[in-house]
Amino acid sequence: KAGVTQTPRYLIKTRGQQVTLSCSPISGHRSVSWYQQTPGQGLQFLFEYFSETQRNKGNFPGRFSGRQFSNSRSEMNVSTLELGDSALYLCASSLVGQEGNEQFFGPGTRLTVL
Amino acid sequence: GQSLEQPSEVTAVEGAIVQINCTYQTSGFYGLSWYQQHDGGAPTFLSYNALDGLEETGRFSSFLSRSDSYGYLLLQELQMKDSASYFCAVRNYGQNFVFGPGTRLSVLP
């Protein structure tokens, strides 16, 4: 069974630009969560999508948004990029009904904002 | 709010046993999970405690005590490949996942 895939793996942008990251979950997984990982802040929860609906949202500004498609693939968008948005963005998928145990992470997208 | 605390670094030698603690402040959650992340890699799931007590998976064991707001990950027969960062995490009743800051384990020969 293929794992979680994320594209692109690396991205360099400049301040003020916007970026879209993509995540394909494991087949059959309907929940997709996004995280921002930085050395200083660790893993911070961005949002979770389930059946094309945002189910939960972390404490991030409105510049961070996402969506999920009918095939469970998800995208996240960051508008008006700031230097502080440089981070590793991870997505993770999980099965429906598993209330807290296992998430499967993708390799991440390394975003650098110059 | 919710927060989890872990030691920032732990060092041990090959073959030894190490315990990584996780204390938390949360109003309610389903269970405590542990993830391993090697440098440059993605977090991978290690274990999950829905109930109080000890869960064993090979060389790894995890423990949860809800009354003490405390859990730990126990790694036995340490190997060099165990050098990584370890994160505890909870999924609260509001469905958000919250991760601890991570503990960097260094295994020395």
Q: Return per-residue pLDDT of chain A as tens, 114 residues.
A: 689 999 999 999 999 999 999 999 999 898 999 999 998 778 999 999 999 999 888 889 999 999 999 999 999 999 999 999 999 999 999 886 555 568 899 999 999 999
Task: Specify the pLDDT at position A1.
Answer: 67
Q: Do B33 and A101 touch (CB under 8 A)?
A: yes
Residues of A in contact with B100 (CB under 8 A): 42
Question: Largest Cα–Cα distance in chain A?
Answer: 41
Residues of B in contact with A45 (CB under 8 A): 96-99
Q: How many CB pairs under 8 A join A and B?
A: 62
Q: Torsion over CA of A26, A105, B68 and B82, rounded to 10 degrees?
A: 120
Tell me, yes or no, if A60 comes closer than 8 A to chain B by beta carbon.
no
Q: Do B97 and A33 touch (CB under 8 A)?
A: yes
Q: Do A42 and B100 touch (CB under 8 A)?
A: yes
Residue of A nearest to B1 (CA): A59
Task: Specify the pLDDT at position A41.
Answer: 77
Q: Is B2 exposed, middle or buried (0-12, 13-18, 19+ CB in 10 A)?
A: middle
Task: Specify the pLDDT at position A39.
Answer: 84
Task: Specify the pLDDT at position A32.
Answer: 94
**B99 → closest Cβ in A43, A104, A107:** A43
Task: Specify the pLDDT at position B106.
Answer: 97
pLDDT-flagged residues of chain B (< 50): none
